[in-house]
Amino acid sequence: MVRVVYRWRVANEDFPAFREAWQAATNRIHETVPGALGSFMMRAFDDQSEVITIAKWTSRETWERFWDQADPRAMRTMRTLGERLCAELFEEIEDYTR
């Protein structure tokens, strides 16, 4: 398993629409892209324009096939509402969350 950490900058007034776009994108990707296992979102307490979304994929290869699309369609609306600062891939070693 791998996790992809996306860091975003989203203006407070755009956050509700960004959240809706993220929910729609996450559901669409999870339902239609092989290897996509869903995502969750976090927002900083101190600087609420800082948003992190973390997606789970079955493997690096499945995520790279998705990501190699120069402009993943499912994420377009998110990119119009927020600035994606980075996307980093991590190997999942252990997960004890419930």
| pLDDT tens digits, one per residue of 60-77 | 999 998 888 756 777 889
Question: b/e string for 12-45 if b means 16 or more Cβ within 10 A?
Answer: eeebeebbebbeebbeebeeebebbeebeeeeee
**What residue spans define the domains of the chain?**
2-91
**Res 4: pLDDT:** 96
pLDDT tens digits, one per residue of 4-32: 999 999 999 999 999 999 999 999 999 98
CATH of domain 2-91: 3.30.70.100
In the prediction, which pLDDT does 76 show?
86
Residues in the chain: 98
Beta bridge partners of 39: 55
